[in-house]
Amino acid sequence: MTGDEFTYVIIGFYVFAILIAFILLIKVIWDRYKNKDDSKYDKIKK
């Protein structure tokens, strides 16, 4: 494996990781926004 291929693998891995983190962050924010006024969610959480 050459240096260029190794660099592309690292860049691809970082882009993939950032994409996953971004999706998880949006999911958490969406869940909080969606369940903001839902009392059942608070009971399950506690």
Q: Render pLDDT for 1-46 as a digit per residue (tens, 0 to 9).
A: 678 999 999 999 999 999 999 999 999 999 888 877 665 656 666 5
Which residue type is seen at 42? Answer: D
Residue 35 CB-density burial (10 A; 0-12 exposed, 13-18 middle, 19+ buried): middle
Tokens 């860049």 map to which residue?
A: 11
pLDDT of residue 33: 85
Question: 41 with 35: CB under 8 angstroms?
Answer: yes
pLDDT of residue 6: 92
Residue 13: give the domain boundaries. Answer: 3-45
Please tell me the distance from the alpha carbon of residue 11 to that of residue 22, in angstroms, as a whole number.
16
CA 7 to chain centre: 24
Number of domains the chain contains? 1
